[in-house]
Structures are given as C-alpha cells and as structure tokens.
C-alpha cells in the first residue's frame, strides 16, 4: 500500500475551533496510525480575510494539541504561478469558458429556479459566447452535461451525483486569481495527498473537485467526510482551542473529547493519545452528528487529571497558580498539595484555586466572612491558640502523629474533635472547605500550621 499522506488545510481567518481541531486530529491520527505523513497547508488565498496572526495562532494551537506536521507547511498563496499554469492548461483544453453574467443576471436566474422549484444552478448561458474584450468576466469550468460522478466516501459510503446537478463553477476571476474548488485540487495533487479527510460541509464540493482532477489528468484521492458537530451555542462551538487551554483542560483530555465527537471504539470513553493512535480507524467514524456537551468534557478532563502522577499535576498546575499571582514551584510540596485535592477538581483552574491557600503567606490568608463569623468566635479562638501551642511541640510531623496530638489536646481541653475541626480548617484555608485536616497539616508544614492557628486565635 502506498504511504498515507493527509493534510489539514485551514483558512487563516480566525482561531482553531473544535470542528477544525477535530479535522486536524482525525487526519493526524490516520497518519500516525498508518505510519503516514500529516501535512499542513495554509489556505490564504482570500487576501482580505486571511491574516498571518491567525495562521500563527492556528499553528500554536495545533502544537499545543500535539498534532505535529511532518513537512514544511505549504502556503497556498505562494503557489499562484502553478495555479495559473493549471488554469492555462484548462483554457487550452477548452474545459473552461468566460462568463460575463452580471450579479443581476445571476440573481434573476436564482429567482427563476426557486419559483420553478428547481435547484439553483448556473445555466451555462455564457458557454460558447464569442469573446467580448470590453466586458469583465470570470472563468467557469464546464461540467459534463450527462452521466454521474461517483465516489466511495470512507465515512458516508457511496455518493452518486448526476452531472446535470453539478454547476459550472467559477474557478478563477478575470485576473486569473483562482478560487477554492480549483486550487484545492492542484495543491492536494502537488502534495501527494492520498486521503482528503474534512468536514461534511465540503461533501457537495467533492464531485466538482473530482471533475477537475480528471480534467487535469491527476489521480483522485480518497475522501472521508466527517459528520457535523452540533450542540452548545454558536459562540461555544466556535470558541478556540486556546480557550479550553485557558480554562484548565488537559491536552490529552481535549483530544480525547474531540475524538469522541464522531468516532468511537466500543464503549470505551477514556483514551490516552497513544491509545487514540493505536485504535483510531476511519472505518469507525460515525455518520451521525456529534453533539457537544460541556459536562462530558469536564468529566473526561477529570478522568485525565486522575490519571496524572502527582508530579505531573504539579507541573500542570504551577502556571495556573502563577496566573493568579500565587508563587509556587512545581516541586514535591506542590505535588503533595495537588494530591490532597485531586479527586475534587475537574480542571486545572479549579486545582489552582483549590491549592492556592497552601502557598499564600500565613499573614496574607483571607478568611471568608461568613466562615470566620461562624467559626472564629472567642471561645473557639482560645482553643485554636491552645491547639497551636500543643502542635508546636510535635516532633514527628506525620499524619498519625498529628492525629494523636490533636486528639490528646481535645481530651485535655475536654472537647470533642468536631468543636475545633471546622474552625481549624477555616484557620488553614480561610474557608469551610478543604482537604482532610491531617493531610492538609502535613503539606502546610509545622511553621505554617502553628502560625495560622495562632493568627486565627487573634482574628
Ligand atoms: N480551507 C478549507 C476549510 O478551511 C479546507 C477545505 C478542505 O479541507 O478541502 O474549510
């Protein structure tokens, strides 16, 4: 079998949204699964809407997802001479004609078709007209007038289109500047693309492109059209991958989630990147639409968080703490801190929020007003001061030793643990929520534990 060569061909007019990321991921997975090549082409021929900034952002987002490409990206606009040469070939072969129709004429044609309940198609009226050098024109490609264009879509199955229903499409403006359905063929052939995997919104373009391949004598690749992605608001659907990164989603979780939008492997829900590469098969891509669901995405993220080592969690959480202005190194202490909150957090933002208290200066910890009013009352403050003193002489700062010391103190003071457990939690975290008391004290360390109890006793 010839080596698989696939490509992702974004138009650089915005960010990489979920739909685009899925197209990129499925192409990348197919290349990695088959030992083929994954290529990138920047389709920047729309000079008004394309920006370099967008091309850079898309490349950064692909890199963040780990979807690395194997050859230098092809910049479509740099291939204009090749596009013009192909147009000239079609002109010489008589496969294209000049169309002089005005926008008004095309609109009238459209209205008439609608009134007669026919598909709106250009009717070929300029085909065979004599040249008129005084009039502006565009180049149209003449489709066959009879027969069918047939292809076996790797996802959708056999697609049969009567040629009479394929419009004579405009492939170039009068200055020779070429349009999408034309250049995509020339560039895919140039790049040796074997499989064109893209969104279903391109399904009706494919018969047009097949006709152009054939006219230019190029071999036609295989096609696979991915189902649409539905659900959520348009705003969320079009949010860039960068937004998910900022919200504290893990790279592998985002890829896992995107992969499941249109692909499945039995009942399995959680996949590492390596498992995706191993198990992905175009044959298992669903035909039905994938629906976005944020809760599911959070759940998947949580599963990936659970699977990280605590050292990895520390590395991932550190930048989110820095963003909050909390200084912490990705060291064993942060790893231990993350471990105490691992099961509670769905995203790295939540993780950073929930471990930040460990790292603020003891004197700078802020108490939630309601929690302080409820728990840091005069008699309890005295007890906290006493607890602080008792703990300052614990030699072995381990969970069992701390448990023994706290219960010894409760006996001595004649109180039950629950009378000081919540107040102590407020003293340590500033709120009523937080990790288990003893594991929290171990991570806080003796100095901070004692200092926070002492400070709360003065609150
Ligand atoms: N630039 C096109 C898009 O972003 C690429 C379509 C294709 O893959 O052929 O939709």
Mutate to test the pocket of ligand 1, among 17, 26, 43 (most ligand atoms within 8 A of CB): 43
Tell me which residue of 357, 368, 329 sits closest to 448, measured CA to CA.
357
- pLDDT reported for residue 381: 97
Q: Which CATH number fits the domain that encloses residue 421?
A: 1.10.10.350
Same domain, 410 and 350: no
In a domain, 254, yes or no: no
CA distance 395 to 410: 18
Q: pTM for this structure?
A: 0.92
For ligand 1, what atom is nearest to the CA of residue 201?
A: 10
Q: Are 225 and 156 in contact (CB under 8 A)?
A: yes
In a domain, 62, yes or no: no
Please give the chain's pLDDT, 459 residues, in tens.
689 999 999 999 999 999 999 999 999 999 999 999 999 999 999 888 999 999 999 999 999 999 999 999 999 999 999 999 999 999 999 999 999 999 999 999 999 999 999 989 999 999 999 999 999 999 999 999 999 999 999 999 999 999 999 999 999 988 888 999 999 999 999 999 999 999 999 999 999 999 999 999 999 999 999 998 887 677 776 789 999 999 999 999 999 999 999 999 999 999 999 999 999 999 999 998 878 888 999 999 999 999 999 999 999 999 999 999 999 999 999 999 999 999 999 999 999 999 999 999 999 999 999 999 999 999 999 999 999 999 999 999 999 999 999 999 999 999 999 999 999 999 999 999 999 999 999 999 999 999 999 999 997
In a domain, 374, yes or no: yes
- pLDDT reported for residue 291: 82
In a domain, 449, yes or no: yes
Same domain, 374 and 441: yes
What residues have CB less than 8 Å from 173, skipping those under 6 apart?
A: 138, 139, 179
Number of domains the chain is built from? 2
Same domain, 393 and 434: yes
In a domain, 190, yes or no: no
In a domain, 388, yes or no: yes
Q: Are 178 and 67 in contact (CB under 8 A)?
A: no
Same domain, 352 and 369: no
Q: Which CATH number fits the domain that encloses residue 319?
A: 1.10.8
Determine the distance separating the centroid of ligand 1 and the alpha carbon of 402, expressed in angstroms.
62
Same domain, 426 and 376: yes
Same domain, 368 and 449: yes
DSSP string, 137-179: -EEEEPPPSSSEEEEEETTTEEEEEEGGGS---EEEETT--B-
- pLDDT reported for residue 233: 73
Which residues form the domain of 335?
Answer: 308-359
Same domain, 375 and 351: no
Say yes or no: CB of residue 6 within 6 Å of ligand 1.
no
Could you give the 3-state DSSP secondary structure of residue 238?
Answer: coil
Work out the angle at residue 10's Cα, subtended by the Cα atoms of residues 5 and 13, and round it to the nearest 5 degrees. Answer: 170
Name the phi and psi angles at 173, rounded to 5.
Answer: -80, 175
Going by alpha carbons, the residue nearest to atom 4 of ligand 1 is 10
Counting Cα atoms < 13 Å in the Cβ hemisphere of 392 gives 12
In a domain, 343, yes or no: yes
Determine the distance separating the centroid of ligand 1 and the alpha carbon of 10, expressed in angstroms.
6
Instruction: List the catalytic residues.
Output: 234
Same domain, 369 and 448: yes
Q: How far is CA 292 from CA 65, 230, 247, in A?
A: 18, 6, 17
């Amino acid at each position: 079998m010839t080596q698989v060569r696939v490509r992702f061909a974004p138009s650089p007019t915005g960010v990489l949204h979920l739909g685009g990321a899925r197209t990129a991921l499925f192409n990348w997975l197919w290349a990695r699964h088959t030992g083929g090549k994954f290529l990138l082409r920047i389709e920047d021929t729309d000079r008004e809407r394309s920006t370099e900034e967008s091309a850079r952002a898309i490349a950064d987002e692909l890199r963040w997802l780990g979807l690395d490409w194997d050859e230098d990206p092809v910049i479509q606009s740099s291939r204009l001479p090749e596009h013009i040469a192909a147009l000239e070939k079609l002109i010489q072969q008589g496969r294209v004609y000049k169309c002089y129709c005005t926008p008004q004429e095309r609109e009238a044609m459209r209205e008439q078709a609608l009134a007669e309940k026919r598909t709106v198609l250009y009717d070929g009226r300029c085909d065979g007209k004599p040249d008129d050098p005084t009039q502006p024109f565009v180049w149209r490609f003449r489709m066959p007038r009879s027969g069918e264009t047939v292809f076996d879509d790797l996802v959708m199955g056999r697609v049969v289109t009567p040629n009479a229903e394929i419009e004579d499409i405009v492939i170039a403006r009068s200055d020779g500047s070429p349009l999408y359905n034309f250049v995509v063929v020339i560039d895919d052939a140039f790049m040796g693309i074997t499989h064109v995997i893209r969104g279903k919104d391109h399904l009706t373009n494919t018969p047009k492109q097949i006709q152009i391949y054939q006219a230019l004598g190029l071999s036609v690749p295989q096609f696979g059209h991915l189902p649409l992605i539905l659900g959520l608001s348009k705003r969320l659907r079009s949010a860039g991958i960068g937004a998910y990164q900022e919200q504290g989603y893990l790279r592998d979780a985002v890829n896992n989630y995107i992969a499941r939008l249109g692909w499945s492997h039995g009942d399995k829900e959680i996949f590492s990147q390596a498992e995706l590469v191993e198990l992905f098969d175009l044959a298992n891509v669903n035909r039905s639409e994938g629906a976005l669901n944020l809760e599911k995405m959070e759940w998947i993220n949580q599963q990936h968080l659970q699977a990280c080592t605590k050292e990895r969690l520390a590395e991932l959480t550190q930048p989110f703490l820095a963003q909050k202005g909390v200084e912490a190194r990705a060291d064993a202490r942060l790893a231990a801190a993350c471990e105490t909150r691992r099961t509670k957090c769905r995203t790295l933002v939540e993780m950073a929020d929930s471990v930040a208290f460990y790292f603020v200066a003891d004197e700078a910890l802020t108490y939630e007003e309601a929690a302080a009013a409820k728990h840091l009352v005069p008699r309890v403050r005295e007890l906290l001061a006493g607890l602080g003193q008792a703990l300052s002489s614990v030699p072995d700062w381990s969970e069992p030793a701390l448990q023994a010391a706290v219960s010894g103190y409760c006996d001595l003071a004649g109180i039950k643990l629950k009378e000081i457990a919540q107040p102590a939690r407020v003293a340590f975290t500033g709120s009523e929520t937080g990790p288990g008391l003893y594991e929290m004290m171990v991570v806080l360390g003796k100095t901070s534990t004692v200092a926070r109890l002492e400070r709360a006793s003065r609150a």
